[in-house]
Chain A
């Protein structure tokens, strides 16, 4: 018996909808959860997911993907790449797993919300697959680092990070809570699957895979690029939602959701992905700079798709383009400086050769960021390591929950954007962060940043020990320079070369 082609039966079967008898349709799909926005069911039935798969196809394909990835891991296990990898690369993996693994589980819940509450049948169907995808990503990205827990307790943070109040974990939770855990199904399809997954996950899962392959870490390259094949399918849930919102006069709202998600994702990536690609990855393994990957994946590929769907560039476009040269350098400097407060060992990444690379990729780096690093290098060389660590807390942005940074040295533009709202003073790292707050203050006003909690007396005792305890960082977990400061030798060599 011949089997029907998918397209001969798929649309009909997946559009099957319930007519509820025991409850009203509104009770079945409350707006708060479904986000139908008063758009009638018939309109949602026009939702046409562009990347269709059947359950049988899904299972067969996923089996192949896992077979491929696990076989690479099994084949390379005895090679013990981790033991001879550059420490900067090990930090990359530890930071990655901690920031990502449990967020994948949370994403599975967000997909489940769409699978249950989306009014568009096609969205519900795709979200079932998305839910299983994210479960796969959570499990596999806990399984891989678990093999390394015997090497170093920081690897345990793959599981631990999101259960703590470590500051970077607070920032990551703040983003994901905002774009996927506290939004209705339609907004989730737009903010999570469209803005975050069509856009930003490519940076962390393909940009980084390119560097991993160059480093020789084929296990990691194979893993994260395989994860991204799931993403590229289930990320296609957002565009059909956008088309329906635009066709029903809701373009402005759709644009706001996207603009908010892009900016918030961008900020987190300046702290996570930027330092990894431009500083932690060994110089000889850097395929492209963070900025170049941003231009490839976000500007040329993702933002261009935004235009094709009838949307506009985000209103903060010029600021965003300009920040591609700046923000992540500040985040990196801050993270290295406050290194005991993160669960990985930040690599400085500023040997003379690396600085040459940075200057080439970011003209002016030496006159700005370089001036700060000059001071750090001097202090380390002169036996004053105590001057290369923090004495105060950084000001933290009440939107992105990351330190407020700017360009130092000759390009000085650091600014704390302040806003008084209902008798409370809020701080923001940029005008954009502040505007996002002002567009929906009720959503954000009660959140306490790490600094707010400190000032409110929630962190006790009010000293380093109390802070590290609050963040869940035990000895053996808190970060220190990835290379144990051995990179300073390159400066001594340079000095004696210069003298000669």
Chain B
């Protein structure tokens, strides 16, 4: 396999390339507009805590549309501007005791800013775009 690389490093290096102006690229809308969103919420590792978080998100944010995207390894739970998960709802959905900070074991990422205390975790944006 290596014989055809024998001349590697042995020739003069040429780096002068023909340069032509790039044409203005037509970009797809989703690329340009992806930043214009107000989606906040947790991205959970798949499992029972993630399933509980989906239910708890509905209970704790009753007036909001909660979107759930299942990517097998992770599940993105989101809504606009603010999403709250309470310890109380998590315990109810899991059917067991649950300390709010235990969510970290399965909280792989999140959208928005975060605020954590003993009773609830809150994902939010200050600014609406």
| Residues in chain A within 8 A of chain B (CB atoms) | 5-7, 50-53, 57, 61, 64-65, 68, 202, 205-206, 209-210, 212-214, 221-222, 225-226, 228-229, 231-233, 236, 239, 287, 291, 295-297, 299-301, 303-305, 307-309, 313, 321-322, 324-325, 340, 385-393, 395, 404, 406, 412-416, 427, 451, 454-455, 459, 462-464, 466-467, 480
Pairwise interchain contact A385-B4, C-beta atoms closer than 8 A: yes
* Chain A interface helix/strand/loop/mixed: helix
Write the residues of chain B forming the contact surface with A, with a CB cutoff of 8 angstroms.
1-20, 22, 25, 27, 30-32, 34-35, 37, 39, 43, 45-46, 71-74, 99, 101-102, 104-118, 125-127, 129
Instruction: For the complex formed, measure the closest distance between the CB of A430 and the CB atoms of chain B, giving whole angstroms.
Output: 11
- Of all chain B residues, which has the CB nearest A427? B15
B residues near A480, Cβ cutoff 8 Å: 1
Given A210-B71, A304-B111, A305-B113, list of 20 further CB < 8 A pairs? A50-B113, A50-B114, A206-B73, A209-B73, A213-B46, A232-B108, A232-B109, A236-B114, A295-B31, A295-B34, A300-B35, A300-B111, A308-B127, A322-B27, A387-B4, A392-B8, A392-B11, A414-B18, A416-B15, A454-B9
Q: How far is the CA of A490 from the CA of B125 in the complex (A)?
A: 50
Which of B3, B8, B104 meets A391, CB within 8 Å? B8
Q: Which residues of B contact A463 (CB under 8 A)?
A: 6, 8-10
Given contact pairs A229-B104, A404-B15, A413 touches B20 in the complex (Cβ within 8 A): yes
Q: Is the CB of B111 within 8 A of A239?
A: no
If A50-B114, A467-B8 touch, whether A214 touches B35 (CB-CB below 8 Å) is no
Contact B9 A307 (CB under 8 A): no
B102-A61 in contact (CB<8A): yes
Whether B72 lies near A213 (C-beta < 8 A) is yes
Minimum C-beta distance from A364 to chain B (A): 10
Contacts of B39 in A (CB 8 A): 300-301, 304
- CB-based contact B72/A214 at 8 Å: yes
A225 contacts which of B35, B99, B102, B108 (Cβ < 8 Å)?
B108
- How many Å from the CB of A237 to the closest CB on chain B? 12
**Closest Cβ neighbor of B102 among chain A residues:** A61
**Taking CB as reference atom, which chain A residue is nearest B101?**
A57
Q: Select B45's contact among A229, A412, A459, beta carbons within 8 Å.
A: A229
Q: 19 A-B residue contacts at CB 8 Å? A: A7-B117, A206-B108, A213-B72, A229-B45, A229-B106, A291-B31, A295-B31, A300-B37, A304-B35, A304-B37, A309-B113, A322-B25, A340-B1, A387-B4, A388-B4, A412-B20, A414-B19, A455-B13, A464-B6
> Could you tell me if B14 and A225 are in contact, using CB atoms closer than 8 angstroms?
no
A-B contacts at CB below 8 angstroms, number: 179
Bound Cα distance A314, B105 (Å): 33
Shortest Cβ distance from residue A39 to the other chain B in the assembled complex, whole angstroms: 22
- Known interface pairs A287-B72, A451-B13, A462-B10; A61-B20 also in contact (CB < 8 Å): no
Report how far A179 CA is from B72 CA in the complex, Å.
32
9 nearest A-B pairs in the assembled complex, by CB-CB distance: A386-B4, A209-B73, A395-B15, A213-B73, A213-B72, A299-B34, A300-B34, A464-B8, A413-B22
Do B9 and A462 touch (CB < 8 A)? Answer: yes
| In the complex, residue of chain A having the shortest beta-carbon distance to the beta carbon of B125 | A308
Please, how many angstroms separate the alpha-carbon atoms of A68 and B106 in the complex? Answer: 10
Alpha-carbon gap, A176 to B10, bound state (A): 31
Q: What's the least CB distance linking A292 to chain B, in Å?
A: 9
User: Chain A nearest CB: distance from B56 CB in Å?
Assistant: 18
- Whether A232 and B74, one on each chain, are in contact in the complex, defined by CB atoms closer than 8 angstroms, is no
State how many angstroms separate the Cβ of A217 from the closest Cβ of chain B.
10
Query: Shortest CB–CB separation between residue A335 and chain B, in angstroms?
Result: 14
User: Residues of A contacting B18 with CB < 8 Å?
Assistant: 412, 414
A309, B105: Cα distance in complex, Å: 26
With beta carbons under 8 angstroms apart, the residue of B22, B25, B73 that contacts A210 is: B73
List, in ascending order, chain A residues with CB within 8 A of B14's CB. Answer: 392
Residues from chain A with Cβ under 8 Å of B117 in the complex: 5-7, 52
A413 / chain B contacts, CB cutoff of 8 Å: 20, 22
Please name all residues of chain A whose beta carbon is closer than 8 Å to the beta carbon of B31 when the two chains form the complex.
Answer: 291, 295, 299, 321, 324
Interfacial chain B residues near A229, Cβ < 8 Å: 45, 104-108
